[in-house]
Amino acid sequence: MPEIDRLVKRLSYFLVLGLLLGFVMTGSLNEAAAQNGPASTVIQVDFATVLGQSPTYYGVENSWIDQDRELYIDRYRRLHGNVVRAQITQAIFEPVNDDDDPQNWSGDFSALTIPIDIQRGKTFTYGDMFTTLQSEFPDMHFQINVWLAARWNASNENGYLGFGGAFPPIDSAEHSEFIRELARWLVEECGIAPERLSFTFVNEPNLTPFFVGTVDDLVRMAEITRAALDEVSPAIRMGGLDEVHGTSWSDQFAQKVSAGCCDMWTFHVYESGLDAMWQALDQRIRNLSNYGPVWVTEFADLENGSPDSLMDFSTRQAALEFAVLLGRLWSSNIEGVIHFRMSDTYSDQFNGWAGHGLFADARGSKSNGNAYEPYPVFWVFANMYTQLGGGAIVQTTAPDILDVVAVRRDDADGAHFAIWVTNTSEQDISVTFAMENLPEGTLRGEIFNNLVGDTPFATQRFDGDEFEMTIPGRSSYTYVFTTS
């Protein structure tokens, strides 16, 4: 009788999930067969065989509007990231030298408020953003990318898009002063604990709008930055080089710096097409892993637009590609994953819309006028960070047509098991999930549509070790089982 009861429970589970999804299994099988694709397949998951660890740090490049702070707090909370990256240029905080004494800082980081959209009264204040995020999310890590030099201290005063000058700095002592006082402000006035703070000392040095020096100049900048940070706290971590289009500069730099110079090795990827994106990500992770922990801090498909603040991620296609890339990154042994950036922004400085965001700007420039509307890609990142963040990667076996990653983790309220599945093909695929080493007894099962929202659209008690689902073409789902 117990076996009959178990079978009835399992059949009931299949029926309820099938009704909730609105799929007719035989219809999906017939359609798949008609498309000459795989009519059915099996995904095997062994939750006891741990292959590695998911990224320790995962988050976004900052976005913020002072007048809409509550909305931004809510979006950061729903995203469930644990790191915020911020690019900072000395040119906006110290447009002219404060004085000739690098030991005497007279600037005021907290006083700077930047007009964003003058017509609508939108502004951005670094101090408000940092103090608010630190207060709302005490465990948040902050990574500062020292983006550009002040023009008066730059080797080339005409840097990227006119936002500052290109490194290396002319006066190392003045540059050291800026790094030291910026770090001191973040720790002492914004309340960020030193162990939750990191700096990368240059941005894309292989591009002349950011850097016009040599590898030896980079070594010197790294030494200056490390010494300046140590004056505030040795616990502040340092990374570099945020290189793009390869790792050749990082390779040369690594041969010249002292061991332990960088606590993380950061890089960017901008390529055309999903295959090229993953090839570049995978290769650069492998290369940089020879030197230490690796972070990707910007990555995007050029088919979505220009990397010069004109990336449009509002489409379903963009979301689907990120679902694939995130799934693969999650099992790549990378330490940090950062998306550039949190939201689109309508900015006077960019003469209008600036993209790269997970949700729309205040004007709804890419969302039919709907202010701050989440794009499908927002839900992709929210579901990955929430459901698979901090988990141990477990063994999966799946056909190449599906991208699959699974994790297990121990939450405060019980064990958590999650399977991420993305189908980039045009056809529906009937899948039998065969799972091993789940806890005995009844679990809570939930299904999330990764492109639609961050709340489950199907919830059911689960008692078994396998179930069947149809994965629609061009879709991504997360299946979660918990003991809570």
Which residues, including other chains, have CB under 8 Å from residue 289's CB and lie 6 or more apart?
265, 333
Looking at the fold, whether 170 and 281 belong to one and the same domain comes out as yes
Looking at the fold, whether 478 and 338 belong to one and the same domain comes out as no
Among 389, 412, 438, the domain-final residue is 389
Looking at the fold, whether 377 and 403 belong to one and the same domain comes out as no
Looking at the fold, whether 215 and 233 belong to one and the same domain comes out as yes
Looking at the fold, whether 310 and 430 belong to one and the same domain comes out as no
Structural domain total, the chain = 2
Looking at the fold, whether 152 and 187 belong to one and the same domain comes out as yes
Looking at the fold, whether 177 and 230 belong to one and the same domain comes out as yes
Which residues, including other chains, have CB under 8 Å from residue 279's CB and lie 6 or more apart?
271
Among 389, 411, 441, the domain-final residue is 389
Looking at the fold, whether 75 and 36 belong to one and the same domain comes out as no
Q: Give the tens place of pLDDT for each residue, 376-387.
A: 999 999 999 999
Among 348, 371, 389, the domain-final residue is 389
Burial of 157 (0-12, 13-18, 19+ CB in 10 A): middle
* Domain limits for position 280: 57-389
Structure token pair of residue 387: 């459901």
Q: What CATH number does residue 158 fall under?
A: 3.20.20.80
358 by DSSP, 3-state: which? coil
Identify the pLDDT of residue 36: 56
Question: What is the mean pLDDT of the segment spanning 383-401?
Answer: 97
Identify the pLDDT of residue 39: 62
pTM, to two decimals:
0.92
Alpha-carbon dihedral 58, 62, 65, 68, rounded to 10 degrees: 0
- Highest-confidence range of 106-115, 323-332, 461-470, by mean pLDDT? 323-332
Q: What CATH number does residue 475 fall under?
A: 2.60.40.1180
Looking at the fold, whether 413 and 330 belong to one and the same domain comes out as no
Looking at the fold, whether 363 and 290 belong to one and the same domain comes out as yes
Give CA angle at 373 (124, 307), nearest 5°: 65
Question: What is the mean pLDDT of the segment spanning 427-445?
Answer: 94
Looking at the fold, whether 86 and 39 belong to one and the same domain comes out as no
Looking at the fold, whether 24 and 131 belong to one and the same domain comes out as no
Q: Give the tens place of pLDDT for each residue, 224-275.
A: 999 999 999 999 999 989 999 999 999 999 999 987 899 999 999 999 999 9
pLDDT band at 101 (very low <50, low <70, confident <90, very high): confident
